[in-house]
């Protein structure tokens, strides 16, 4: 069996090049760097990868030497081939690298396959680069490196209902995972899946809130699940000195949303 192993946060184009070679993908969870903002939650990762198992990065497992980890892997999965990215490290305090893996592969009779760093438009595809793009509101660049639209999954909760009073009702999304990376504050062009239907969505992010106006939708979604796919950054957040000015700006945002989704 061919097994790909790694953290695979983001499941971006580079990760996909590794995963495509494998029968089973073994992800390391939770993320070895506590507190890091995640591009993909474990549940999102499972949906994107499919045939996936998890290596529980517990305190005990974190103390395994590189060779002890390989012994554990052999007993658990007996891989014929272990597929890793170019920057793969493993074992206690990341002591093992690609050369260590190749030495252990010869000792324990399996193949170690290293996949070179993936580039897109001459830019190396890395989770750290994608995080930086999202934190700067560069959603289109982040999506290019990911190979898909960045998504936010969660449950719809009750908000302040300001949009409803202005004639533009919104859904308020509470993300599933507390460590999920929320992109830079602003207004985004997006699409939303709610009640198994796809809608255009003008998404507002800021002040700890994620809310979206879905043109063409009417109804009550409280307590239901939704997914937002962010496509483009429309504008920065602004303060308005009257509800009328805010209402006019929302109308402009919806017009921009339609243009962005047609592009």
Asked if the structure places residue 64 within a domain, the reply is: yes
Do 112 and 156 lie in a common domain?
no
pLDDT digits (tens, 9 = 90+) for 116-149: 999 998 899 999 999 999 999 999 999 999 999 9
Do 65 and 167 lie in a common domain?
no
Do 119 and 155 lie in a common domain?
no
Do 96 and 205 lie in a common domain?
no
Decide if pLDDT at 261 tops 90: no
* pLDDT of amino acid 167: 62
Angle at which helices 127-135 and 139-146 pack, to 10 degrees?
160
Average of per-residue pLDDT across 198-211? 93
Asked if the structure places residue 139 within a domain, the reply is: no
Asked if the structure places residue 141 within a domain, the reply is: no
Asked if the structure places residue 142 within a domain, the reply is: no
Average of per-residue pLDDT across 86-105? 92
CB neighbour list of residue 31: distance below 8 Å, 6 or more residues apart = 7, 9, 38, 57, 179
Asked if the structure places residue 25 within a domain, the reply is: yes
Domains of the chain: total: 2
* pLDDT of amino acid 263: 64
* pLDDT of amino acid 158: 84
- CB count, 10 Å around CB of 80? 12
Phi-psi region of 119 (alpha: psi -120 to 50; beta: other; left: phi over 0): beta
Write the burial class of residue 69 (CB in 10 Å: 0-12 exposed, 13-18 middle, 19+ buried). Answer: buried
Do 112 and 164 lie in a common domain?
no
- CATH code where residue 164 lies: 2.40.30.30
Query: Which of 81, 107, 123 lies at the terminal end of a domain, its last residue?
Result: 123
| pTM for the structure as a whole | 0.91
pLDDT digits (tens, 9 = 90+) for 134-191: 999 999 999 999 999 999 999 999 877 665 666 678 899 999 999 999 999 999 999 9
Asked if the structure places residue 248 within a domain, the reply is: yes
- CATH code where residue 73 lies: 3.40.50.620
> Tokens 């004639």 label which residue?
167
Do 119 and 157 lie in a common domain?
no
CB neighbour list of residue 225: distance below 8 Å, 6 or more residues apart = 153, 154, 155, 156, 194
pLDDT digits (tens, 9 = 90+) for 35-92: 899 999 999 999 999 899 998 888 888 899 999 999 999 999 999 999 999 989 998 8
Do 90 and 186 lie in a common domain?
no
- Which residue range is the domain that position 32 belongs to? 2-123
* pLDDT of amino acid 199: 93
Q: What is the mean pLDDT of the chain?
A: 91
* pLDDT of amino acid 164: 61
Cβ distance 199 to 217 under 8 Å? yes
- DSSP state, 94? G
Q: Which residues is 83 bridged to in the sheet?
A: 4, 113
Asked if the structure places residue 138 within a domain, the reply is: no
Do 64 and 113 lie in a common domain?
yes
Do 158 and 118 lie in a common domain?
no
Decide if pLDDT at 16 tops 80: yes
């Amino acid at each position: 069996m061919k097994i790909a192993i790694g953290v695979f946060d983001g499941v971006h184009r580079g990760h996909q090049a590794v995963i495509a070679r494998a029968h089973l993908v073994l992800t390391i969870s939770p993320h070895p760097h506590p507190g890091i903002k995640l591009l993909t939650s474990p549940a999102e990762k499972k949906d994107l990868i499919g045939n996936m198992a998890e290596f529980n990065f517990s305190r005990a497992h974190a103390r395994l030497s590189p060779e002890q980890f390989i012994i554990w892997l052999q007993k658990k999965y007996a891989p014929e081939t272990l597929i890793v990215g170019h920057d793969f490290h493993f074992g206690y305090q990341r002591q093992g690298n690609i050369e260590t893996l190749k030495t252990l592969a010869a000792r324990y009779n399996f193949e170690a396959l290293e996949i070179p760093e993936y580039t897109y438009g001459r830019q190396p595809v890395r989770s750290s680069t994608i995080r930086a793009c999202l934190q700067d509101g560069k959603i289109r660049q982040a999506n290019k490196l990911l190979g898909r639209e960045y998504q936010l999954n969660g449950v719809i909760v009750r908000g302040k209902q300001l949009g409803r009073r202005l004639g533009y009702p919104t859904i308020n999304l509470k993300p599933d995972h507390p460590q999920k990376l929320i992109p830079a504050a602003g207004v985004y062009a997006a699409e939303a899946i709610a009640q198994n239907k796809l809608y255009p969505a003008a998404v507002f992010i800021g002040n700890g809130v994620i809310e979206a106006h879905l043109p063409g939708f009417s109804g009550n979604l409280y307590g239901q699940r939704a997914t937002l796919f962010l496509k483009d950054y429309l504008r920065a957040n602004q303060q308005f000195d009257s509800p009328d000015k805010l209402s006019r700006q929302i109308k402009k945002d919806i017009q921009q949303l339609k243009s962005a989704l047609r592009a």
